[in-house]
Amino acid sequence: MRDWIEAKKAGKALSDADIRAFVAGVTDGSIEDAQIAAWLMAVCWRGMTTEETTALTQAMIASGRTLAWAGVPGLRVDKHSTGGVGDKISLPLLPAVAACGGQVPMISGRALGHTGGTLDKLEAIPGFRTDLALDALIEQTKRLGGAFGAATDDLAPADRRLYRLRDATATVASIPLITASILSKKAAEGVDGLVLDVKCGGGAFLAGRDDARNLALSLINTAERLGLKSVALLTDMSQPLGRTIGNALEIAETIDVLKG
Ligand code: IUR
């Protein structure tokens, strides 16, 4: 692990095998927090090549389970938004896509910084369960055309540990680390296509257009190498989206939209 930290500190690229071994150690707990944190900080400063980002994403996918859809007819799709104030598009989009015959096994996230989380919004509905086991998520997607679930312990578990340490060490804002984190969970859903809504503007996580564009390019280039069809849109997040802000209000707005 010391050699891998040294290599990243010096701006060198790691091999696929090194990255796989690193992620294995993150997942099985054999690498300690301090060393992972140092590695994350080195990556945050020095970056990663597209090959390294792809290897990191693949290893993170392989750290857990991948949803299997063999023999299930239909096309599975999903979207990811980098988020912003009032961004609630997933809520009306999933049922709309399901109504058009698509299937959306959506693993959603929680609030991050000032940006809201789809799971937190859904929990404004009394009794709504977001803790579906992966098999229940698959069953519901087959039956209804979609489901909102959370990343469980068996889906990209390496991301869970890395994300916690990124949060604790101020290394969240790294394009390769964001890319691997987002794509590992989306690719593990086993979807055929992915739409990436990359926000830019004062209310976005990455405010600058150049940063947002670089993230969008990193996401689609890495997705392509994973064999996952994707398209990215840079969309404006310089003002709140829609008419409401706040978990329960955004659910009410979604229901109004779905009722036409
Ligand atoms: N959402 C994720 O799933 N991962 C990340 O690193 C960020 C948002 I930033």
* pLDDT tens, position by position, 40-68: 999 999 999 999 999 999 999 999 999 99
Closest residue (by CA) to atom 7 of ligand 1? 178
**Percent of the chain scoring above 90 in pLDDT:** 93
Quote the ligand 1 centre to 182 CA distance (angstroms).
Answer: 5
Closest residue (by CA) to atom 1 of ligand 1? 182
DSSP structural state of residue 67: -
Cβ neighbours of residue 168 closer than 8 Å, sequence gap 6 or more: 37
My answer on whether 167 and 131 are in the same domain is yes
**pLDDT band with cut points at 50, 70 and 90 for residue 113:** confident
172 Cβ closer than 6 Å to some ligand 1 atom: yes
User: By the 8 A CB rule, do 187 and 226 touch?
Assistant: yes
- Look at residues 186, 171, 172, 190 and name the one whose alpha carbon lies nearest to residue 220: 186
My answer on whether 22 and 116 are in the same domain is no
My answer on whether 96 and 32 are in the same domain is no
- Give the domain range for residue 21: 2-62
My answer on whether 99 and 54 are in the same domain is no
**For residue 88, how far is the Cα from the chain centroid?**
16
| The two structure tokens encoding residue 174 | 């790294």
- Look at residues 59, 199, 67, 208 and name the one whose alpha carbon lies nearest to residue 132: 67
Would residue 67 count as lying in a domain? no
pLDDT of residue 116: 84
Q: Provide the annotated active-site residues.
A: 80, 159, 166, 181, 185
My answer on whether 83 and 51 are in the same domain is no
My answer on whether 53 and 92 are in the same domain is no
My answer on whether 41 and 85 are in the same domain is no
Cβ neighbours of residue 226 closer than 8 Å, sequence gap 6 or more: 54, 57, 58, 61, 183, 187
109 Cβ closer than 6 Å to some ligand 1 atom: yes
60 Cβ closer than 6 Å to some ligand 1 atom: no
pLDDT of residue 206: 85
Can you give the CATH number for the domain in which 51 is found? Answer: 1.20.970.10
Give the residue from 39, 62, 85 where a domain finishes. 62
Closest residue (by CA) to atom 2 of ligand 1? 182
**pLDDT band with cut points at 50, 70 and 90 for residue 207:** confident
List, in sequence order, every residue forming a beta bridge with 60; answer none if it has no partner: none
My answer on whether 86 and 189 are in the same domain is yes
Would residue 68 count as lying in a domain? no
Would residue 197 count as lying in a domain? yes
User: By the 8 A CB rule, do 156 and 185 touch?
Assistant: yes
Quote the ligand 1 centre to 103 CA distance (angstroms).
Answer: 23
My answer on whether 50 and 85 are in the same domain is no
Domain count, the chain: 2
| The two structure tokens encoding residue 203 | 């209310």
Look at residue 99 and tell me whether its pLDDT is greater than 90.
yes
Look at residue 111 and tell me whether its pLDDT is greater than 90.
no
What does pLDDT average to over the chain? 95
Cβ neighbours of residue 140 closer than 8 Å, sequence gap 6 or more: 132, 146, 147
My answer on whether 154 and 57 are in the same domain is no
Residue the block writes with tokens 């989009």:
93
My answer on whether 33 and 145 are in the same domain is no
178 Cβ closer than 6 Å to some ligand 1 atom: yes
175 Cβ closer than 6 Å to some ligand 1 atom: no
Looking at per-residue pLDDT, the higher value among 114 and 242 belongs to: 242
- What is the pTM assigned to this prediction? 0.94
pLDDT of residue 62: 97
My answer on whether 26 and 100 are in the same domain is no
